[in-house]
Structure 1
Amino acid sequence: MIWPALALTLVLAAPTDAACRQALALGLDISGSVDTTEYRLQLDGLAAALQRPRVVAALLDDPETPVDLAIFEWSDPGQVRLTQRWASVVSRNVIDDIAARLRDATRPAFGPSTGLGAAMAFGAGLLAQRAGCWQRTLDISGDGPRNTGPRPRDVRAGGTLDGITVNALAIGADAPSSGDARQVEIAELSSYFRAEVIHGPDAFVETALGFDDYADAMERKLLRELRVVVLGAAQ
């Protein structure tokens, strides 16, 4: 079965014949639980993580077989914006251009719900355009479970994620309303992502204790994902 978001992807993403060692699609949750400040922290945090020295070094480790990178924002099923179309990361200039695009982005007028399964289907469609890459990775960030659209477990079972590794970044609350329940909240969300979302060999869940921690968590996540590819290629 092809979900509507996946069909939309096939129009937006163009195929390529260029060789790459990893296709990495990053999906950012901008549903109603993400306020204006958190939206900015998320996009600016990803931009900052991409420009940190260790991430730059990992991305540019082998320019002859580069990492291909795409970024999308999602909320309700069918509401997805391809913020960064596929780009082959062959130089620092490419990284800086992507970071600038993220910092310049303004929030689209999307609905409030969390269509996590539909976002996964959209990411699978993007990655279908990079079938020749050594590894394909879908990197989903979110601060809550799916509450509308297809269930993540059904998207996983439907076959569109075959050959794709799905990792997750669970984002906890920035400021608890009573006491400090953030560790409990992030543990519950991480368990949900682990049970319902991640997929494939070496798949994992990274955690951010609030959007203020997003850049550091994304750096850890990118380094882990890119390291898996480098080690796999060396074996």
Structure 2
Amino acid sequence: MIVDAAIVLAADVSSSIDVDQARMQRIGHAEALRSPEVKAAIRDGFVGCIAVTYIEWSSVGSTRTVLPWTRLCDDGDANIAADEIMHRADDGSERIGSGRTSLSFALEASGFLLDHFPGEATRKIIDVSSNGTNNDGLPVAEARDRVVQKGYTINGIVLAREEQGVTSDLADYFRQMVIGGPWAFVAVPDRPFDYVTAIRRKLIREISGIGHRGDNRSIYLVVDDRG
């Protein structure tokens, strides 16, 4: 397959993710794929197609593929992918209170998926969602650097602005330790129900290639849907 962008959607399902956050990730990704704006961004690409895979991760060695690599070229493709995420992704109802947060493993696993992407993509992107800092496995900055050296971009979205007792600024932690590559950014929803908007805007930037002109700066993308 040939696509404008291959995107790994990597959702945190560690023990610190509560029911509301689990559902926010599942619904947010599904609704973003269904949105007219994301569908238009896909159609407006040079190829007019992207590929996505949706995985869930927690501690080292713990991943689950919800949606395998899927080519999205029209509205029907996007709707089918969204339905798969809604039906199969974690909704938090069976949380058992185990599983640490290995952002480093999430990045390594996502990089492996991009290494073995079954086609050609102009851009390869990891889109990681989490509410915490790395507390399992290798240092996250080491994993980030290895992934970025392959030419991949890592973008992030934080589910909470701070993690009590660990960091008072989770977005800044992501900016310094997790994201990387050309125009990497952290999406920061201003309120919990801005998460769908954050995912939608994030996907539009990734699909459209905004900023992919060799500039390696990293940014915050603060999302407030009140206006």
Q: Which residue of 2 aligns with 1:37?
A: 20
Q: Which residue of 2 aligns with 1:129?
A: 116
Distance 2:88 2:147 in 1: 33
Query: Mean Cα displacement is larger for which, 125-134 or 49-58?
Result: 125-134
| Matched residues, number | 206
Q: 1:193 to 1:160 in 2, by over 3 A?
A: closer
1:220 aligns with 2:208: no
Matches within 5 A, 1:38-53: 38-53=21-36
Q: Which residue of 2 aligns with 1:93?
A: 76
Q: 1:162 to 1:75 in 2, by over 3 A?
A: same
1:21 aligns with 2:4: yes
Query: What TM-score, normalized to structure 1?
Result: 0.79
Q: Deviations over 1:148-179 (max 9, x none)?
A: 111211112335752101111112169x99xx
Answer whether contact 1:42 1:211 (CA < 8 A) is retained. no
> Counterpart of 1:201 in 2: which secondary structure?
coil
Query: What TM-score, normalized to structure 2?
Result: 0.81
Could you tell me how far 1:202 is from its partner in structure 2? 1.0
Q: Which residue of 1 aligns with 2:131?
A: 143
Answer whether contact 1:172 1:209 (CA < 8 A) is retained. no
What is the aligned counterpart of 1:57 among 40, 44, 50? 40
Structure having the larger proportion of residues in helix? 1
Q: Which residue of 1 aligns with 2:188?
A: 207
Q: Which residue of 2 aligns with 1:11?
A: none
Runs (5+) with no aligned partner, structure 1: 1-17, 178-183
Amino acid at match of 2:29: L
Percent of pairs identical after alignment? Answer: 28
1:119 aligns with 2:109: no
Could you tell me how far 1:230 is from its partner in structure 2? 9.5
Answer whether contact 1:140 1:166 (CA < 8 A) is retained. yes
Q: 1:141 to 1:205 in 2, by over 3 A?
A: same
Q: 1:189 to 1:83 in 2, by over 3 A?
A: same
Runs (5+) with no aligned partner, structure 2: 214-227
Distance 1:156 1:231 in 2: 18
Q: CA RMSD in A?
A: 2.6
